[in-house]
Chain A
């Protein structure tokens, strides 16, 4: 088992070295070009949609008090009275210098500072949740596939369906209720919300991972079942290979491809899409920042977080592409 994973870890390095320079070029250049295109359309669309959408950041800032002079003064101060295209160009020029601008709501705080503060926390929560969902989801799916149509299989399928379909805003009060009962009974319990100690991580990671565990387990199961019927698996068994060798080397490796397809892009969303979890558990991550920014029409923050998410999705797809090749050498890079 251990040897299997060590070999898995060494393999990508070996594979990348064995590639010719030309292949690498053919792989990365189109992707770099598409990244530029994606970033351009992303900034342009979020910029325009933000400004075309109803709602006005200055009105939100001023609250219920109407005062034409102050409104005009603030609009000018934030540069919102300039033509939209001019504003966009200024923004792009800033971006090229690594400047995301200043948040409207948080006075003089730069957007980059807000993102720097939130992103590591969200990556931590999202990353742990992904790890947990893989560590639990893949074995559960494997077990269900290998014991197809038994009680174990039905149990796992039922459980994962529940995990997958219960939304986090139902799961969170449930987790709270259980934890509160433990607290009242006088046993050691977890903090209900907050951030700063390792204990604070547990509940949000479990809630965030739940849906993913369900999905990954079901994906692993169906993909395993498909591979199990393949000829080469029968051959491997016929050769007299040990059962675990067949499962780990022949079945799992091929069954993991669809999971990779799912996990890559979902990582980016796990990090930024955790806004319900971040809100209710008081986690100062980037999901909470972006949702709040949308409500406040804090354009620079909306744009900044969208660009970061866009880059994350593109990068995760890149990593997925490389991993395809690693897991299945028949798939050539650049295809």
Chain B
């Protein structure tokens, strides 16, 4: 009898692999292919002189995924879906290239004196891509649908939950929110429980992008033929490969200047870079999936290379309900001991901007200065001594947790050496596969004593408003406050600011956020490390597209061109 492998062996191998992938042990987790790729082969010469491509199709790479779950604007799960959804759908409000609120599907709007009633006039001649006129009632349908439990939206309750009657719909007690009304075919009225200064900003998020009822009710897979009021509509969706969009000839700004957009999925950014170099892509890179850092030096002198600070903050969060980080002096010591300049400019080779505050560069409110906890080894040691650990050796064992993605590994190692050098504290590092990491953050939130001690995390703006960073992340009762930072004065300041809905009070509102941010810095709600940069490649033949900290923005679709 010759040697033979039993089937059970193969299955066992597979199960073990599955098991290993599931645990958080860093040694057991497979490295992502991207880690091994990048630097192995240096490109002979940078992309140059290649500026051709099909004259009627813009090829825009969608990275980090191999397909999209759906193009339903009511439940975008990831930034990649949002990119495509905003090409196909649009709402009442959008953000312009300066990240300021502009009308879109609404031609005008007004806010009542007490800041709770918003009245929008639907743009005259606004139609869906099939030519059907859009009425105020379509927006009512859209908002109620986003809130409905059947839709199973992930974020609608957070963004739309303050509309009068929204909770009744969310909890299945009503079909329609009483605070959303079509006064006539062109007038939409939305009433809020309390004034919300950032409400218009929130409307730029896809969940209120108007959907045609006829399309949504055509079947469970309706989004495969998605069309709305956006500049493009879906022509063909090849699952696992690409989505082809074609121009919406009824678009209100006029017919888009490029007839088709092809959106190929590239699971790995390295693949996208290869395809860009061989002339198969016009745009690559995004906020979540930046151009691989190893290639930046090859392309940064080219006109193709675009960069901007992105609206995200990478930070260290502390579990304020568990020793030793329940002590503000310990947190201060750890914050003061981090040399962010070295981290950003040397360790990460300038691919990020050092962060001296919580709000990322370019966000509303960052024009007001903050007094940072600047790197100071002596002050750090003093703070640790004040906390009762004059000698780093008596400090308890602490473990910094992080999710395995991007440059996190390098970042935590740098932090470890800063704390070792400047405080004499030996910090353990613990890597988690991403889903396991989010599980651990969940535990930290619900049962802090069993949770992580401190962790590397990131927050990117859903909409460009300080509220999205301060009130939503660090207020005592907010469900995203994983580390349980709690400060009565901070809460009072952000609560007051959130309510200042009147646009004329914006100065006062930003002042309040500024004071709150200063408290969060001084008491170390977060230890902000750096703001990632958005690095993209856009072929020079593409005209009419602007890089903003949020994403690529096309101010006027009719002026988008391929040279």
Is the C-beta of B198 less than 8 angstroms from some C-beta in chain A?
no
Is the C-beta of A221 less than 8 angstroms from some C-beta in chain B?
no
Is the C-beta of A69 less than 8 angstroms from some C-beta in chain B?
yes
Query: 1/0 per position for A280-318, CB-CB distance to B under 8 A?
Result: 111010001100101111000010001001100110010
Q: Which residue of A lies closest to B481 (CB)?
A: A66
Is the C-beta of A53 less than 8 angstroms from some C-beta in chain B?
yes
- A94: shortest Cβ distance to chain B, in Å? 18
Within the complex, which residue of A42, A269, A297 is in contact with B435, where a contact is CB–CB below 8 Å? A297
Distance A173 CA – B39 CA, assembled complex (angstroms): 9
Q: Are A49 and B22 in contact (CB under 8 A)?
A: yes
Q: Are B157 and A38 in contact (CB under 8 A)?
A: no
Within the complex, which residue of B157, B267, B438 is in contact with A59, where a contact is CB–CB below 8 Å? B438
- Count of chain A residues with a beta carbon within 8 Å of a chain B beta carbon: 88
Contacts of A167 in B (CB 8 A): 36
- B197: shortest Cβ distance to chain A, in Å? 20
Distance A108 CA – B241 CA, assembled complex (angstroms): 18
- B194: shortest Cβ distance to chain A, in Å? 19
Within the complex, which residue of B3, B37, B78, B240 is in contact with A258, where a contact is CB–CB below 8 Å? B3
Q: Are B2 and A331 in contact (CB under 8 A)?
A: yes
Q: Are B41 and A106 in contact (CB under 8 A)?
A: no
Contacts of B8 in A (CB 8 A): 38
Q: Which residue of B lies closest to A62 (CB)?
A: B154
Within the complex, which residue of B7, B239, B271 is in contact with A317, where a contact is CB–CB below 8 Å? B7
Q: Are B37 and A317 in contact (CB under 8 A)?
A: no
Interface hub of B239, B266, B267 (most chain A Cβ within 10 A): B267
Q: Are A53 and B241 in contact (CB under 8 A)?
A: no
Q: Are B37 and A261 in contact (CB under 8 A)?
A: no
- Of the stretches A124-132, A154-162, A174-182, the one at the interface is A174-182
Distance A63 CA – B153 CA, assembled complex (angstroms): 12
Q: Are A177 and B24 in contact (CB under 8 A)?
A: no
Query: 1/0 per position for A60-84, CB-CB distance to B under 8 A?
Result: 1111111111100110010000000
Knowing A65-B158, A282-B264, the reply to whether A317 touches B5 (Cβ < 8 A) is yes
Is the C-beta of A55 less than 8 angstroms from some C-beta in chain B?
yes
Q: Which residue of A lies closest to B167 (CB)?
A: A69
Is the C-beta of B109 less than 8 angstroms from some C-beta in chain A?
no
Distance A153 CA – B152 CA, assembled complex (angstroms): 64
Is the C-beta of A195 less than 8 angstroms from some C-beta in chain B?
yes
Is the C-beta of B265 less than 8 angstroms from some C-beta in chain A?
yes
Is the C-beta of B421 less than 8 angstroms from some C-beta in chain A?
no
Contacts of B153 in A (CB 8 A): 70
- Of the stretches B9-17, B347-355, B407-415, the one at the interface is B9-17
Knowing A49-B19, A282-B266, A309-B14, the reply to whether A55 touches B433 (Cβ < 8 A) is yes
Q: Which residue of A lies closest to B1 (CB)?
A: A335
- A180: shortest Cβ distance to chain B, in Å? 6
Q: Are B33 and A180 in contact (CB under 8 A)?
A: no
- A314: shortest Cβ distance to chain B, in Å? 5
Is the C-beta of B382 less than 8 angstroms from some C-beta in chain A?
no
Q: Are B435 and A170 in contact (CB under 8 A)?
A: no
Interface hub of A118, A170, A180, A191 (most chain B Cβ within 10 A): A180
Knowing A108-B220, A282-B267, the reply to whether A61 touches B154 (Cβ < 8 A) is yes
Is the C-beta of B44 less than 8 angstroms from some C-beta in chain A?
yes
Distance A289 CA – B467 CA, assembled complex (angstroms): 38
Q: Which residue of B lies closest to A171 (CB)?
A: B40
- Count of chain B residues with a beta carbon within 8 Å of a chain A beta carbon: 73
Is the C-beta of B18 less than 8 angstroms from some C-beta in chain A?
yes
Distance A320 CA – B153 CA, assembled complex (angstroms): 50
Distance A184 CA – B49 CA, assembled complex (angstroms): 11
Is the C-beta of A232 less than 8 angstroms from some C-beta in chain B?
no
Q: Which residue of B lies closest to A318 (CB)?
A: B7
Knowing A280-B271, A282-B264, the reply to whether A302 touches B18 (Cβ < 8 A) is yes
Contacts of A216 in B (CB 8 A): none
Contacts of A321 in B (CB 8 A): 4
Q: Are A64 and B480 in contact (CB under 8 A)?
A: yes
Knowing A170-B36, A170-B40, the reply to whether A265 touches B3 (Cβ < 8 A) is no
Is the C-beta of B67 less than 8 angstroms from some C-beta in chain A?
yes
Is the C-beta of B155 less than 8 angstroms from some C-beta in chain A?
yes
Contacts of B270 in A (CB 8 A): 173, 280
Distance A32 CA – B158 CA, assembled complex (angstroms): 53
Q: Are A77 and B152 in contact (CB under 8 A)?
A: yes
- A165: shortest Cβ distance to chain B, in Å? 14
Distance A314 CA – B5 CA, assembled complex (angstroms): 10
In the complex, which residues 90-138 of chain A have their Cβ closer than 8 Å to any Cβ of chain B? 105-109, 117-118
- Of the stretches B179-187, B275-283, B330-338, B542-550, the one at the interface is B275-283
Query: 1/0 per position for A189-207, CB-CB distance to B under 8 A?
Result: 1011111100000000000
Knowing A66-B479, A67-B157, the reply to whether A265 touches B274 (Cβ < 8 A) is no
Distance A265 CA – B8 CA, assembled complex (angstroms): 11
Q: Are B40 and A53 in contact (CB under 8 A)?
A: no
Q: Are B439 and A191 in contact (CB under 8 A)?
A: no
Is the C-beta of A27 less than 8 angstroms from some C-beta in chain B?
no
Interface hub of B14, B18, B22, B72 (most chain A Cβ within 10 A): B14
Is the C-beta of B442 less than 8 angstroms from some C-beta in chain A?
yes
Q: Are B274 and A284 in contact (CB under 8 A)?
A: no
Is the C-beta of A54 less than 8 angstroms from some C-beta in chain B?
yes
Q: Are B241 and A284 in contact (CB under 8 A)?
A: yes
Q: Are A292 and B154 in contact (CB under 8 A)?
A: no
Within the complex, which residue of A49, A193, A302, A306 is in contact with B271, where a contact is CB–CB below 8 Å? A193
Q: Are B278 and A55 in contact (CB under 8 A)?
A: no
Q: Are A118 and B240 in contact (CB under 8 A)?
A: yes
Q: Are A177 and B37 in contact (CB under 8 A)?
A: no
Other A-B pairs, 13, CB within 8 Å; known A65-B480, A320-B4:
A46-B18, A50-B18, A54-B440, A62-B155, A77-B152, A108-B221, A117-B240, A170-B36, A176-B274, A269-B10, A279-B33, A314-B7, A331-B2
Q: List 21 A-B contacts (CB under 8 A).
A: A50-B22, A61-B154, A63-B78, A63-B154, A65-B480, A66-B480, A67-B155, A117-B240, A170-B36, A173-B41, A184-B45, A191-B278, A261-B2, A261-B4, A269-B10, A282-B271, A284-B239, A292-B267, A294-B22, A313-B11, A320-B4
